[in-house]
Amino acid sequence: MSQSLSQTFLAITRNSTDLEWLQGALAPMGQVVSTAGDSLDELLALVDVTLTSLVFVGLDREHLVAQCALIEGALEAKPMLAIVALGDGMDNQLVLNAMRAGARDFVAYGSRSSEVAGLVRRLSKRLPPVAPNADLGGLTVLYGVQSNADGALLANHMAQVVQKSGQQTLLLDLGLPRGDSLALLGLESSFHFGDALRHVRRLDATLIDSAFTRCEVGLRILAYAANDEPLEHTSAAELYMLLSALRQHFQHIVVNLTGQPDSEALRTFVSHCDKLLWYTDQNVIDCRRNLAVLNLWREKGMKLDHAKLLVDRYLRSVAPDSDALGKSFGMEIIATLAYSPEVRLNAKNQGVTLFELAPREVLTQSLRTLGERLAKRSENLAKPKSWFSRLRGTP
């Protein structure tokens, strides 16, 4: 995951307002992920996949016994975990019970952001450092506000280049309109993103090999179904569980999120990918929409040091040029992609890749170069066993 965010925190709160308060207080330090319900098993699983060392647990008089039992159970299973209780600072009973259960500290709802951040900094200094999981594959996200098939077209080609480099690669197509990555290649699928979320605990090599769609070069594709829930209805906790499972089986995952509205789920992808490719063109109206989201995220303290600007359908004779766009977005330009409308249209209509249709076209060469850059970033990661080896149980 990206090193741009130093920490991930888990939180069980009374409501979304309390969660937003905590997220705002800790935004400059990392992401606060909400856990649904009060299941100890789910909490411990999320601690494992997020590599967190700090958990916030909200307390109230009505559920105090169960909440304290959750704290005790978590600390019994993970003694090095730091738990901070949240609640009404005027209720001494809550404070006493939290301390007896093993909470490291108590924070009153509505406390100033500086107080919360200061407490977390002090606790973090006393906690053992958490080493990142070297077995997880790379994660690249393509995002922009535009909703069109070109996002899927570009993500598809970049992912195929990474696959051809010898890395087991997945294209996770959550862009809008839905399912364009499959349509562009004339493929169908009976297993989709929503199915993967529902069966995340069964997501092993056997299921991937039998259920995930595969194109000619071996690239696996997992896309939206028409009846899948919108991304904004997916919790960050669910995404963590799914991504953790997928990254154990793929050396690189390319995620298409073009056209998605702002949501906690979208921010989870953006904050924790290795590389964010911010997708735009020279259309000033679309640029303004992109900048509105970008500036909002920056105001909320999201760190986007891993973001690069990808300018599509680029025309050198049209303003704003790439330099102006780079300055407006405050990002380095990773590539400018040629307009090439005829080649794009033929690829979409014929259901073939640009590599087959026009291998010498400037657009094709640019996408190959971009895919090679992504592959180079993850080539040194521990390569997962092949699906056949996993099935046979061989090293």
Arithmetic mean of pLDDT, 246-266? 95
pLDDT exceeds 60 at position 165: yes
Arithmetic mean of pLDDT, 301-305? 88
Residues 14 and 90 in one domain: yes
The pLDDT of residue 1 is: 42
Residues 73 and 203 in one domain: no
Residue pLDDT, tens place only, 183-234? 999 999 999 999 999 999 899 999 999 999 999 999 999 999 999 999 999 9
Could you tell me what percent of the chain has a pLDDT over 70?
Answer: 92
Residues 81 and 142 in one domain: no
Arithmetic mean of pLDDT, 81-98? 94
The pLDDT of residue 383 is: 52
Residues 221 and 257 in one domain: yes
Arithmetic mean of pLDDT, 2-14? 73
Arithmetic mean of pLDDT, 281-285? 97
pLDDT exceeds 50 at position 385: no
pLDDT exceeds 70 at position 370: yes
The pLDDT of residue 4 is: 40
Tally of CA atoms within 13 A in the half-sphere of 105 that contains its CB: 15
The pLDDT of residue 390 is: 44
Residues 92 and 143 in one domain: no
Arithmetic mean of pLDDT, 138-156? 96
Cβ neighbourhood burial of 353 (10 Å; 0-12, 13-18, 19+): buried
Residue pLDDT, tens place only, 18-63? 999 999 899 888 889 998 767 899 899 899 888 899 999 999 999 9
pLDDT exceeds 70 at position 156: yes
| Cβ atoms of residues 274 and 1 within 8 Å | yes
The pLDDT of residue 266 is: 96
**Which of 126, 152, 186 is where one domain is finished?**
126
Arithmetic mean of pLDDT, 338-354? 96
Arithmetic mean of pLDDT, 240-246? 92
pLDDT exceeds 90 at position 103: yes
Question: Do the domain assignments include residue 132?
Answer: no
| Cβ atoms of residues 134 and 381 within 8 Å | yes
pLDDT averaged over every residue in the chain: 91
Residues 103 and 185 in one domain: no
CATH number at residue 191: 3.40.50.300
Residues 46 and 151 in one domain: no
Arithmetic mean of pLDDT, 280-291? 97
pLDDT exceeds 50 at position 256: yes
Q: Which of 73, 94, 95, 81 lies closest to 123, judged by CA?
A: 81
The count of domains in the chain is 2
What is the domain range of residue 50? 7-126
Could you tell me what percent of the chain has a pLDDT over 90?
Answer: 79
Residues 96 and 240 in one domain: no
Residues 281 and 383 in one domain: yes
